[in-house]
């Protein structure tokens, strides 16, 4: 029987591992872009999927604009290695406040776009605001996430 891993768990570069919850949060926040890619890959007749999630085109454009800064965060995450492009570390260090602002803005927009009879018409639409609220609480309380965003690999590693 192997001993349990020492805390904190480090990745191959000696840095704190990025929590799996962060990837789930990025998937949740980047849902307009994911829907967009799904619509672009579907056959011509089945492209009304976007209208299912975003009935008005302005809602989709607003959701994409709110989630756009996270594309920079994804780029910085891909460069979090010893031979990565160094200027991304400045974005990486600002990622926690950026994540908090995007999550809060997404929560406000999602709540404002819910119809009045959401519990009768589409109760599944309540899941997203609940997940966003839980994500906000996690972003505020997570000590591991602060450590992850505070470190960047050295080029000598």
pLDDT tens for 35-79 read: 889 888 887 766 677 777 787 889 899 999 999 999 999 999 888
Q: Model confidence at 15, in pLDDT bands (50, 70, 90)?
A: confident
> Is the confidence at residue 135, as pLDDT, over 50?
yes
Q: Find all residues with CB under 8 Å of 88, minimum gap 6, and list them.
A: 75, 76, 79, 80
Q: What is the pLDDT of residue 98?
A: 95
Helix extents (H) in the chain: 20-29, 31-41, 49-53, 57-67, 69-78, 88-93, 95-112, 118-121, 127-141, 143-150
């Amino acid at each position: 029987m192997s001993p349990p891993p020492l805390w904190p768990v480090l990745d191959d570069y000696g840095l704190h591992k990025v929590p799996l919850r962060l990837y789930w949060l990025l998937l949740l926040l980047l849902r307009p872009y994911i829907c967009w890619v799904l619509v672009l890959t579907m056959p011509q007749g089945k492209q009304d999927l976007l209208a299912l999630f975003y009935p008005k085109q302005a809602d989709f454009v607003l959701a994409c604009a709110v989630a756009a800064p996270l594309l920079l965060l994804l780029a910085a995450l891909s460069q979090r290695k010893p031979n990565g492009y160094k200027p991304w570390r400045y974005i990486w260090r600002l990622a926690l406040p950026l994540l908090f602002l995007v999550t809060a803005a997404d929560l406000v927009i999602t709540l404002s776009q819910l119809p009045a009879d959401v519990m009768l018409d589409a109760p599944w639409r309540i899941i997203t605001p609940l997940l966003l609220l839980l994500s906000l609480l996690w972003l505020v309380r997570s000590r591991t996430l602060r450590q992850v965003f505070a470190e960047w690999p050295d080029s000598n590693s």
